[in-house]
Amino acid sequence: MTAPTPEVLALLEATLDAAVIMDDRGRIEAFNTSAEVMFGYRAADAIGRNVNMLMTAADRGGHDDHLRRYLTTGESQVLGRGRDVRVQHRDGSEFSVFLSVGRIPNSAPPRFLGFLHDTSLRQKALATLEKERQVNRLYLDLAQVMLVATDRNGVVQLANQRAIRVLKREHANIVDSNWIESCVAPEDRATARAAFRHLLVSGNDEPQVCEYHVRSSDGEDRFITWRGVALRDAENVATGIMLSGEDITDQRRAESEAHRALERMNSVARLATMGEMAAGISHELNQPLAAIANYAQACVRFLRMPAPDLPEISGALEQIASQALRAGEIIRRIRSLVRNEDVRRETQDINELIREVHGLLASDARVHDGKLALDLASPLPSVTVDGVQIQQVLMNLVHNAFEAQAPEHDGAPFEVRIATRVTGSGDVEVSVSDLGPGLAGEAEQKIFEPFFTTKASGTGLGLAISRSIIKAHDARLGYRANHPRGACFYFVLPAHQEAPS
């Protein structure tokens, strides 16, 4: 055994790593200060003992075998390479070091110099990092919003629990797949793509909001409000996007229910007002008519007398003239009433309006022991209408149809049918037909006249008002006989023209 030269010892003391020299049997020859600090042995205590005392129980036996194999075969698993090993402090605590070993040149039998670099700090940092990662994961998963991150190609990097639940898919199934192709509802992919591109190219760091449907694995579409930001690298180049999404499907549904209920109430209220208005109008109009009839008949009687009372007659004629004007004034008032209705035109799907009416009239159908059938063509061009008014007309027509059938109940179920179709000119025809007695002769001529009614309790205004509503929509409310029997009322609404941009 040769004692290390002072240069070697100085070198060993200068390094911050633990340095150990051992002989061919593993006995420690040198043990530097760093080694003392790292392992808790004094150099004097360590020298002469087998180096395997620094190793964990699990590695101890292996070390002697390695050494022996090297000495007989020259094979080494560590020389020139280094490796991570677990070692043991004097107090029994274990830690990791990176071990690099070199054979001291020209030594025979061979001697070895080992450097042990404490890597437990790095390991601790890695463990902390992992823990942080888990906490972050927890944050993501606890979030009540869907969180999705993708790279700049739209490939999903991350999806939280909420996103997984809404999409009803496995995490592994989402990650690494293309977000838009695999999760967005096909109808909304164009929207989603545009929003994605916009996020990547706009330098704006404000979250951008967009809404589109995602499709879950079982085919259910959920409506999501997304807030998206671009993820950027150090050079401020967008590397991907982060989306936070709120599932507003149920909220939307509740809103549209509430909206529909309100509309329903409005139209019922309007209908009731219309009924009251009709009663009021007919009473008012009746007054001057009755007076005119009375005066005229009185005049005839006076004129038949041998000595007619001329002043009385001329007074009556003056009254007739002024009462006729009064009637005209009432009619003018009705007209302006109908015209002053504020018309709120919107581009709408007529089928949707009809489906809403269908819901409203179901009870009407039940009362009449009948059925309201829908025969709706799809797709239909959209139309620009005041939805509530059109619904009012439909309700009036359907109501009339049920009433028309009522007196002839012969056991067959009443059926009223609302149908839509596209006409030859590309416009939308809406018809309401029944299997009642239909209209005969005089009734067909007069059916649209105000105050004409075939019903015992009718005001005769429903159809007249309906016709004025349809006319205000640049259409005409018409009547034709239904096949094989019954009546059919219809109107043709012009298809909505896209305004040239």
Interface positions, 457-486, toward another protein (CB under 8 A): 457, 459
Nearest CA-CA partner of 419 in 369, 480, 472, 469 = 480
- Choose which of 140, 298, 419, 472 interacts with another protein (CB under 8 A): 298
* Residue 314 makes contact with another protein by CB under 8 A: no
Instruction: Please report where in the chains the tokens 């035109």 appear, as a residue.
Output: 345
- Choose which of 273, 286, 347, 423 interacts with another protein (CB under 8 A): 286
CB within 8 Å of 34: residues ≥ 6 apart: 15, 16, 17, 18, 19
- Choose which of 312, 318, 408, 449 interacts with another protein (CB under 8 A): 312
* Residue 331 makes contact with another protein by CB under 8 A: no
Q: How far is the CB of 464 from another protein (least distance, A)?
A: 14
* Residue 326 makes contact with another protein by CB under 8 A: yes
Map residue 148 onto helix, strand or coil: strand
* Residue 452 makes contact with another protein by CB under 8 A: no
Contact predicate 401/393, CB 8 Å = no
Smaller CB separation from another protein, 178 or 287: 287
- Choose which of 107, 173, 294, 384 interacts with another protein (CB under 8 A): 294
* Residue 329 makes contact with another protein by CB under 8 A: no
Smaller CB separation from another protein, 308 or 407: 308
Q: How far is the CB of 460 from another protein (least distance, A)?
A: 8
Nearest CA-CA partner of 149 in 248, 216, 246, 244 = 244
Smaller CB separation from another protein, 251 or 286: 286
Q: How far is the CB of 287 from another protein (least distance, A)?
A: 5
Cis bond upstream, residue 109 (ω within 30): yes
* Residue 100 makes contact with another protein by CB under 8 A: no
* Residue 287 makes contact with another protein by CB under 8 A: yes
Determine the Cα angle at 119 with ends 117 and 124, to 5°. 160
Smaller CB separation from another protein, 134 or 314: 314
Number of Cβ within a 10 Å radius of residue 426: 9
> Which backbone phi and psi does 399 adopt, to 5 degrees?
-60, -45
- Choose which of 136, 297, 423, 445 interacts with another protein (CB under 8 A): 297
Smaller CB separation from another protein, 82 or 315: 315
* Residue 400 makes contact with another protein by CB under 8 A: no
* Residue 282 makes contact with another protein by CB under 8 A: yes
**DSSP labels, 58-122:** HHHHHHHHHHHHHHHH---SSBTT-EEEEEE-TTS-EEEEEEEEEEPTT-SS--EEEEEEE-HHH
Number of Cβ within a 10 Å radius of residue 66: 18
* Residue 330 makes contact with another protein by CB under 8 A: no
* Residue 268 makes contact with another protein by CB under 8 A: no
Map residue 425 onto helix, strand or coil: coil
- Count residues near another protein (CB under 8 A): 29
Q: Where does this chain touch another protein (CB under 8 A) — which range of 43-51, 148-156, 294-302, 355-363?
A: 294-302
* Residue 450 makes contact with another protein by CB under 8 A: no
Q: Where does this chain touch another protein (CB under 8 A) — which range of 1-9, 218-226, 320-328, 333-341?
A: 320-328
* Residue 423 makes contact with another protein by CB under 8 A: no
**What span, in angstroms and rounded, lies between the C-alpha atoms of 472 and 393?**
12
Interface positions, 167-196, toward another protein (CB under 8 A): none
Contact predicate 147/242, CB 8 Å = yes
For the sheet containing 238-247, what is the strand order? Answer: 156-159, 146-151, 238-247, 221-232, 208-215
Indicate the DSSP class of residue 52. Answer: G
* Residue 150 makes contact with another protein by CB under 8 A: no
Smaller CB separation from another protein, 50 or 282: 282
β partners of residue 158:
149
- Kindly list the residues in this chain that would bind another protein in the complex (CB under 8 A): 279, 282-283, 286-295, 297-302, 312, 315-316, 319, 322-323, 326, 451, 457, 459
